[in-house]
Amino acid sequence: MSATELTALLLFATAMSFSPGPNTTLSTALAANLGLKRAMRFCLAVPMGWTLLLVATGLGLGALITSVPVLRLAVKVLGVGYMVWLAWKLAGAGQMSQVNAARLNVTFWQGVGLQFVNIKAWMLALTLTAGWVFNAGGQPAANPYERLAITSVVMMCFAFSSNFLYALVGSLLRQWLAQGARLLWFNRALALVLVATALWMLTV
C-alpha cells in the first residue's frame, strides 16, 4: 500500500471512526452510568467485532449480504430492533443505582455481535473493501490479503481509540450527572440519538 493510499485511509478512518454512531453513543452511555472500567469491555469488543466484520466482508460476506435482499433486510431489522431496545432501557434510567445488569448490560460478545447488525459498520467495511483492499490506485490489487491485513489493523486501532475517547468523556461527566435529574435527561438524550440512528438505518 502506497504512502498516498495509507494517508487517505487514515483520513477516512478518522472521519468515520470519530463521528457519532451506535458504538460511540453506547460507549459514552456505559461509561457515564457504570464507570470507565465497566465500559472498557465494550470498547474492546468493538474493534474485535469490527475486525471480524471487515475480514468477513473482504472474504466475500459483504457481496453475499448486498446481493441477497432478504439477508440485507435481516441485518437491518436486527440492527434497528437492538438499537430501539437499548434506547428504551437507557431512557428509563434516572439514577446510577438503577443502571445495573438488569437494565443496561452490554456484554463483550454482545458488543462484538452488534457490529454485524450495525449498518454504519457494514457501509464502512464495504467501502474499505472496495477502495483499499481490492483496489490499488485505480487498478485491481495484486496483494488483496496483505492490504486487508493492513486495513484491519488500522481500523482496529481507530475503533478502539474512538470508543475509548467517547467513554472517557462519559466517565468525566459521571460525577456531574449524579446530581438531580441530570442523568435521566442525559440518558434520554443518548436514547434519542440511538433511535435517530435506528431510523437512519431504515433508510439505507
Task: Answer yes or no: is 17 within a domain.
Answer: no
Task: Answer yes or no: is 75 within a domain.
Answer: yes
Residues 6+ apart with CB under 8 A from 141: 133, 134, 135, 147
| CB half-sphere exposure, 195, CA atoms < 13 A | 11
Strands (E), the chain: 135-136, 139-140
Task: Answer yes or no: is 5 within a domain.
Answer: no
- Cell digits for 105? 448490560
* CA angle, residues 201, 102, 178, in degrees to nearest 5: 85
Task: Answer yes or no: is 6 within a domain.
Answer: no
Q: In the chain, how many domains are there? A: 1
Q: If you search the block for the grid coordinates 471480524, which residue do you land on?
A: 52
Name residue 136's beta-bridge partners.
139
- Cell digits for 78? 436486527
pLDDT of 14 reads 86
pLDDT of 101 reads 45
- Cell digits for 118? 450495525
Task: Answer yes or no: is 12 within a domain.
Answer: no
**CA 91 – CA 5 distance, rounded (Å):** 42
- Cell digits for 23? 458504538
**CA 140 – CA 166 distance, rounded (Å):** 37
**CA 80 – CA 11 distance, rounded (Å):** 28
Write out the chain's pLDDT in tens, 204 residues. 778 888 888 888 888 788 778 888 889 888 888 889 989 999 999 999 989 999 888 887 767 776 777 877 777 787 778 778 777 877 776 555 555 544 567 889 989 998 888 877 887 888 888 777 887 767 777 888 888 888 899 999 999 999 999 999 889 888 787 777 777 777 788 778 878 877 776 775
Task: Answer yes or no: is 16 within a domain.
Answer: no
The boundaries of the domain holding residue 177 are 22-203
- Cell digits for 25? 453513543
Task: Answer yes or no: is 139 within a domain.
Answer: yes
Task: Answer yes or no: is 98 within a domain.
Answer: yes
**CA 90 – CA 154 distance, rounded (Å):** 31
**CA 44 – CA 149 distance, rounded (Å):** 19
Are 144 and 57 spatial neighbours (Cβ–Cβ below 8 Å)? no
Q: Which residues of 117-144 are buried (b: 16+ CB within 10 A; e: fewer)?
A: bbbbbbebbbebbeebbeebeeeebeeb
